[in-house]
Chain A
Amino acid sequence: MAAIKIEGLGKVYPGDIRAVQDINLDIADGEFIVLVGPSGCGKSTLLRMVAGLETITEGELSIGNKVVNQLEPAERDIAMVFQNYALYPHMTVYKNLAYGLKNRGFSQQDIDERVQNTAKMLEINPFLDRKPRALSGGQRQRVAMGRALVREPAAFLLDEPLSNLDAKLRVQMRVEIKQLQRRLKTTSLYVTHDQLEAMTLGDRLVVLNQGRIEQVGSPMDVYHRPETLFVAEFIGSPSMNIVRASTFANKDNQEAVKQLPEGTDVIGVRPDTVVFEKPAEPHLSFDCEVKLFEPAGAESHLYLHLLPDRQAFTMRVEENTAVAEGGKIMVYAPLSVLHPFNEASGRRTD
């Protein structure tokens, strides 16, 4: 168990290619941090730098008050779960779990005790004598988790551990990982590109884009108050509607925009804050054509085109909403729930 401190961390590849730059992050002991971002944003590189699998070219990394920049992966007291699990195919599950302990010189009795306990906790004890290829995807995932848990490391690093599972299993394992982490209180760094995983798992999210941190915060903070235009579009499903103020044709809207903070030229509207009835408070109104009604059980979505410039616009509606596809309607969004941004800086203006 340990806190992780990342100061000015950067990775420069030959040819001045900056995969990751200027990362500052304080991870408290026992915290569950999720690194999230689109592919190529540097999240995996950052994780691998913490693991010691990539060299650190800039900045300083400390695990438990000790600078570990120059330490080998094994000396950093971390455990990693790989996307493809990386189980040793020629060893039984038992030996897979015991390998790391054996290398660290644990006694045979100690190894056996730990392996049995971990296997019981993850319910993989019936498979201890099997080789990985005789296991299902979910079981392999558990073994991979087990190999990380069995050593009781200072920190867990998880690199998209659920992306090879089918949808149902993924949800199940997500819940289990969360419960496990709560119980063990081990500092964890979890990489994913799936924002639902990110929202549900993390104590805090770190949203990365092009090798830089866009925003750090609790999932709800990031959702309700995205600091940058990138975060606003990336977090939330369906994603936030982004409308340029310059496209507003009607007078009321132009007046309303003036009430928003100075410099606002782009407005973000979450699909679930759009309403049919005209609100009493100050608001924006949108003249739309209905393109498609998409009922999806718990929540249904209405895909609209803003008039006159036919920009796509999404809103969340009730299942029994009566709208005719192709018809014209008026929808509203109160100013209080809007996200005002400046397009040039990409930052929030309020």
Chain B
Amino acid sequence: MQTKRMTFSHNWLPYLLLAPQIIITVIFFIWPASQALYQSVLRQDAFGFRTEFVWFQNFQRLFEDDLYLNSMQVTLVFSVGTTLLSMSVALLFAVMVNKMIRSRDTYTTFLVWPYAVAPAIAGVLWWFIFNPSIGILPYMLDMVGINWNHRRNSDQAMLLVIIAAAWKQISYNFLFFLAGLQSVPNSLIEAAAIDGAKRFKRFWTIVFPLLSPITFFLLVVNIVYAMFDTFGVIHATTEGGPSQATNILVYKVYRDGFVGMNLGSSAAQSVILMSIVIVLTVIQFRYIERRVNY
């Protein structure tokens, strides 16, 4: 891509224009991240009187800790579940809305609304709906003989947080998929129809491959979302329970740091979390992007 070369009247002007973004990045990312890096090699007593430099002991202890390894496993299930659920439901909705002619805009508006709901509010909403004593869903499930109690059943708790976390993301994914579907030329689908491909086959052999850049982008965004931005959902619904079943990495960082006051371990955890996401994103770009048709 050819970029236009800009000339500024003053040397300092481009720096001034970049300054707001740089300041925000430094204050809200670089500084806390380096604090975390620094904290992760320290150990503090519970009252903050003594601080000791312990090299990589915090990391070492984490990888020997069954609770932490469990949390990793939980995060894996949670991220994959949330991403798959939100993307597949969003794709289904987008395909259905794309077929509509007159009511398309109305449905689009309604389907995008959940994205405007704050995560904590959404969490509370789900807390009410799934509440084992007063919730509507356990009441209905009881009628078909399913006993719902995510406070005791860890699988149900995982299902709940996945649904709650995916719900919001569906709106976002839906918008992207819909835009993608609308950019697939109609004549391609007609050509495929003449070429003898039935509706289902047309979708999987023509439309879906053409959506691959969008699918790839959403995959990266959704995994990052599931790993970082789902704190509110967990906090408002299960609080990591029962017995650590939904204690994902980002929630454990909070619990160990701000509830358990183990700042060193918490910092080490966030460093690990950060590296996991970086590695994942690099892997996605290196290996999956190759199979994408732009």
Contact = CB atoms under 8 A, between A and B. Distances in A.
A73 interface: yes
A74 B194 contact: yes
A73 B193 contact: yes
Interface in A133-190: 147
B193 A89 contact: no
B20 interface: no
Interface string A87-103: 01110000000011001
B191 A86 contact: yes
Contacts of B185: 84, 86
Contacts of B205: 99
A104 B188 contact: no
Interface in B172-214: 185, 187-188, 190-197, 201, 205-206, 209-210, 212
Given A90-B209, A90-B293, A53 B190 contact: yes
Residue among B190, B191, B193, B206 facing the most chain A CB atoms (10 A cut-off): B191
A73 B194 contact: yes
Contact of B194 (A51, A83, A88, A89): A51
Interface in A40-67: 51-53
Residue among A51, A52, A88, A100 facing the most chain B CB atoms (10 A cut-off): A88
Contacts of B195: 74, 99-100, 103, 147
A304 interface: no
Interface in B250-291: none
A82 B192 CA distance: 12
Contact of B187 (A84, A100, A103): A84
Given A99-B195, A100-B195, A103-B196, A88 B190 contact: no
Given A88-B206, A90-B209, A100 B196 contact: yes
A79 interface: yes
A34 interface: no
A80 B293 contact: no
Interface in A260-314: none
B117 to A, nearest CB: 36
A50 to B, nearest CB: 11
A80 B191 contact: yes
B187 A86 contact: yes
Contacts of B212: 90
B193 A72 contact: yes
A78 interface: yes
Interface residues of A, number: 21
B131 to A, nearest CB: 47
Contacts of B193: 52-53, 72-74
B194 A79 contact: yes
Interface string B150-178: 00000000000000000000000000000
Given A90-B293, A100-B195, A104-B196, A73 B190 contact: yes
Contacts of B197: 74, 99, 103
A89 B210 contact: yes
B196 A86 contact: no
B208 to A, nearest CB: 10
Interface string A229-246: 000000000000000000
A78 B206 contact: no
A300 B257 CA distance: 90
Contacts of B209: 90
B190 to A, nearest CB: 5
A79 B185 CA distance: 18
Contacts of B188: 86, 88
B189 to A, nearest CB: 9
B212 to A, nearest CB: 8
B195 to A, nearest CB: 4
Contacts of B201: 103
Contacts of B187: 82-84, 86
Contact of A90 (B191, B196, B210): B210
A104 B192 CA distance: 12
Contacts of A82: 187, 190-191
Contacts of B206: 88
19 contacts: A51-B194, A52-B194, A72-B193, A73-B193, A74-B195, A74-B197, A79-B194, A82-B191, A83-B187, A84-B187, A88-B188, A89-B210, A90-B209, A90-B293, A99-B197, A100-B194, A100-B195, A103-B196, A103-B201
Interface of B: 185, 187-188, 190-197, 201, 205-206, 209-210, 212, 293
Given A72-B193, A100-B196, A147-B191, 10 more contacts: A51-B194, A52-B194, A53-B190, A53-B194, A74-B195, A86-B187, A86-B191, A90-B212, A99-B197, A100-B194
